[in-house]
Amino acid sequence: MPRRSSRLNDSRGMNTRRAEARVAPAAAFTGRLYIDPARIPPGVTYAWKRATARNQPDPDNMRLSLQKGWRPVPVDRHPEWSPPDMRAIFGDAYNAPTVIMNGGLVLCERNTSDIRREREAMADENLRRISSVSWANSAAQEDNLMPMQDFGSHTTIEQVSESIKPD
């Protein structure tokens, strides 16, 4: 009687098992808002912007974000973030989303150079405001009425507790 060959090397069986294999979960924890930086186009910064708060629309926050130059990331750029096609459940009345949403947040993008310029302008404004306070300038340290930080002081604060004796 001829001996049967082993099925371990059967290519059809191996291909079927590979096709039916589940994708292994990621070994490291990633939050639900995590986006792999390698998937972000160069020269662009992503941020999650609040569209709703406690299931109530927050149009003022979205309007402010749009005025600052943030634009929603199109859903076709990251299909893994788009919800499944719900037309089978809701019928033709279902409108597929055009933006990426997650928990009331919308994924938005902005040019990195614009963000850098805005942060530099904010740092300059903060420095200007701090410098406008007279006691923050070194020349004003000679004025004895202005508060000063004394880093050479050896004064300490201690806590004293009293024991209460019962009557």
Strand runs labelled E in the chain: 44-50, 52-53, 56-57, 71-72, 101-102, 105-111
Q: Between these two residues, 129 and 61, which has the higher pLDDT value?
A: 61
CB contact set of 74 (below 8 Å; sequence gap of 6+): 98, 99
Q: How many CA atoms lie within 13 A of 35 on its CB side?
A: 21
- The tens digit of pLDDT for each residue in 118-150 reads 999 998 898 888 777 766 555 545 555 555 555
Which of 15-29, 75-89, 128-142 bottoms out in mean pLDDT, i.e. has the lowest? 128-142
Q: Between these two residues, 3 and 163, which has the higher pLDDT value?
A: 3
pTM: 0.60
Region 86-94: mean pLDDT is: 69
pLDDT at residue 8 in the model: 58
pLDDT at residue 55 in the model: 86
Which pLDDT band holds residue 51 (cuts at 50, 70, 90)?
very high
Residues 73-110, buried b or exposed e (16+ Cβ, 10 A)?
Answer: bebeebeebbeeeeeeeeeeeeeeeeebbeeebbbbbb
pLDDT at residue 50 in the model: 95
